[in-house]
Structure 1
């Protein structure tokens, strides 16, 4: 190890004061789990990407992160960090085919899409986003998808939409997640967030319909493929099928039918999950690496019974893996080969109200076998249940969950990558899946 945990503890004991960032180790073995943890980033305020955004180059060598300096790569073998795109720039995703880093950048009142080569750092200016915003690129990197509001039916697509107040960003900042009960008692952060999202959803339902569109990265052509009076969010293209797009109805999960797919020609609108009980919720969905399965957090009902659920895109086959309350995670993920899952835990205020949930987890799925090999008469149409067997990887007791860790697997499946504020400033970390020797 570059730094051992013992000197770090001695510093705290002898100093008698709070440790500074320089005094925290950048590599250690977690004494509670026996797994090696490495701090990959160096600049305070460095973030890994959201859990469902591809952040790795196709060769598996480099991880893309963001920081106050801009968009950088981290070589997973050498840990070398290189700035590729100086700030300001908003990262979107890393292309599965070419490895280009797609990002957006404001130029006056206009929003442009760029692509940066993570190796040569060459930058290409691609197309302008006439209105709204884009959030994902398809598997062959020909299309992006996004949403906008208040389309003028008579005059069609309205250029220069940056000044249109109906296109304002719908994300509420953490500082705004405050609310009170009727008696004046403050809500905890998670409850306040739910309440404010409910208010936001009500406002959106009262406004003109939202539109889901594709943007051609060569010609700049915009095509509206779907329109409805819902808060459309979490757009994700399939990593393997260029014509398949997943999106959600945003808002409090028990108020919406969250999960949908659609083809890029506007056909094939499909609701992936249907509620069967009051307060049943599902969300934080993502595609498996092969594009065959959509996975999501499922609770039947909310905050009581916890599953990681899978939906086979081609056949509709459903798999539900059960897990315990403490193992519920803000976000889950699956390994590139589909054999392992991971979760980033949660604190007491979150939906599971877990008394001991602040851990980074590795899960091994185990299906429930047929007794004596005898299947149910209609087994093909039933849910295929199982359980996730958990292994604790990192103690996150010092992590503030207003920052979501957003765990992902490294392409070689040897590490879990996450972001954390456990030592103060946000940094990007990796924990080795194999136990430390």
Structure 2
């Protein structure tokens, strides 16, 4: 069958759920973005499907499968054939468990991460009677599920280490504080869903990646609450819990090194200008270390992530907030710091990279974001270039500067940034994956890194105009304070 018919299908097969919700059944599966020359592909059919948070591993160690979430459960995407498969279905919903409600959220399976050692996805499920969460892992090929460990009361986990022996998470020390813990990821409300999808249809997923309208106020209240919590690890073989840290700071965004099973990165959450955010600790509780210490009023650093080899921590650095923009890197071995500069319109909510650091990517942002970029709604490809300064004074303690040369991949003008796109490269570096609500409900998309070669003119379409045919309401900028 010709490529045009296979990729630009206007009668794509949507799930029974989609048909039941009266969603369009003719969503395009592929086109070439008129503004960029790059091919965009819709990889999922489930309304409400989405990729993982940008810094959470989604790929099997063999590089063949990608895992994503959808309202009906956890799915796999075969990167070679592009076929999808429901791996772990959500349990049957109670009659009163409507989409967007706490009961709906609690009764779902929750992905944690794809393992770095085995072809497995780790997930949790909450017992409706005890309200305790249990950690499981599922084989990505056979679907075999193994029960691993039950978490302490009020506990959740966010990451699994490189050799898959430990998970790390937090819990509130006092039960009464759990009712006040508005800082945790809560289910998306119907109002938040409507704002993020430009739709009055009920939510089709718990909304892990949708930002609440009052996020800024919530972060201020949660930081000021000083809720005592414990940062812990749990042995996935024995169930032994090890307390790493007691704190009244808001500890969040836990992420194990992809290479060192004893090294955990975490953050002090809250408005970025009010916290020293990026920290690292070993699994024996030692070497609790601040990674970036500000030296300027209103300097911010955050949205930290590991380089794929585990040798470098990367993060968004703005000295000061909203005025100057860098992607900064910290080399764990020697303390060397690198900073790639970018322009206001190039700044992104999240960044990602390839293992050899020859390409970076970003998901852009609308004018309501911290950069207040007038033309920032693009999926970006960044070509890094170091500034060598031959003959200039240099010192091992100096930041080593570089610059990003950007290339637009997708025009995201019809995407509502209340839903964060969360970009990532495919293992072969040929595709940048992202989540978008440009058609209303979210789907997992990808864009080819290389420009389309001699595309059929019928395939070359304006992405915002195409999206508007299926989702007429133009999104309004969102305000997401850091």
Match of 1:242 among 250, 261, 264: 261
Distance 2:371 2:278 in 1: 21
Correspondence for 2:109: 89
Correspondence for 2:55: 52
Distance 1:264 1:196 in 2: 30
2:7–2:29: 8 Å Cα contact kept in structure 1? no
TM-score in terms of structure 2 length: 0.79
Distance 2:420 2:5 in 1: 26
- What's the CA shift string for 1:141-175, capped at 9, x where partnerless? 00000011226xxxxxxxxx799646776235665
Correspondence for 2:65: 62
Distance 1:190 1:125 in 2: 33
Q: Check if 1:111 corresponds to 2:133.
A: yes
Name the CA shift for 1:4/1:30 in 2 (closer, same or farther; >3 Å). farther
Segments of 5+ residues of structure 2 without an aligned counterpart are 11-21, 91-107, 193-210, 454-482
- Which structure exhibits the higher relative contact order, with contacts defined as CA atoms closer than 8 Å and separated by 6 or more residues? 2
1:148–1:167: 8 Å Cα contact kept in structure 2? no
Q: Which has the higher strand share?
A: 1
Distance 2:362 2:173 in 1: 38
Correspondence for 2:436: 420
Correspondence for 1:359: 378
Match of 2:316 among 265, 288, 297: 297
1:5–1:29: 8 Å Cα contact kept in structure 2? no
Correspondence for 2:17: none
Match of 1:141 among 144, 164, 170: 164
Correspondence for 1:259: 278
Match of 1:101 among 96, 118, 121: 121
Distance 2:5 2:271 in 1: 44
Distance 2:341 2:165 in 1: 38
Distance 1:250 1:275 in 2: 15
Question: Aligned with 2:396: secondary structure?
Answer: helix
TM-score in terms of structure 1 length: 0.87
Count matched residues.
401
1:252 is displaced (CA, Å) by 0.5
Distance 2:187 2:88 in 1: 25
Runs of 4+ in 1 over 6 A off after TM superposition: 4-8, 166-169
Distance 2:39 2:387 in 1: 32
2:60–2:114: 8 Å Cα contact kept in structure 1? yes
Question: Aligned with 2:450: secondary structure?
Answer: strand
Distance 2:296 2:369 in 1: 21
1:22 is displaced (CA, Å) by 2.8
Correspondence for 2:185: 171
Correspondence for 1:130: 152
Correspondence for 2:446: 430
Match of 1:29 among 21, 29, 32: 32
2:122–2:135: 8 Å Cα contact kept in structure 1? yes
- What's the CA shift string for 1:14-67, capped at 9, x where partnerless? xxxxx9733331111111100111110011110100001100011111110110
Correspondence for 1:182: none
RMSD: 2.3
Q: Check if 1:80 corresponds to 2:103.
A: no
1:227 is displaced (CA, Å) by 1.6
1:99 is displaced (CA, Å) by 2.2
1:225 is displaced (CA, Å) by 0.9
Question: Aligned with 1:72: secondary structure?
Answer: strand
Match of 2:74 among 68, 71, 76: 71
Segments of 5+ residues of structure 1 without an aligned counterpart are 9-18, 152-160, 178-188
Match of 2:173 among 150, 153, 174: 150
2:359–2:384: 8 Å Cα contact kept in structure 1? yes
Name the CA shift for 1:91/1:418 in 2 (closer, same or farther; >3 Å). same
1:405–1:419: 8 Å Cα contact kept in structure 2? yes
Alignment of 1:277-426 (within 5 A): 277-371=296-390, 374-376=391-393, 378-426=394-442
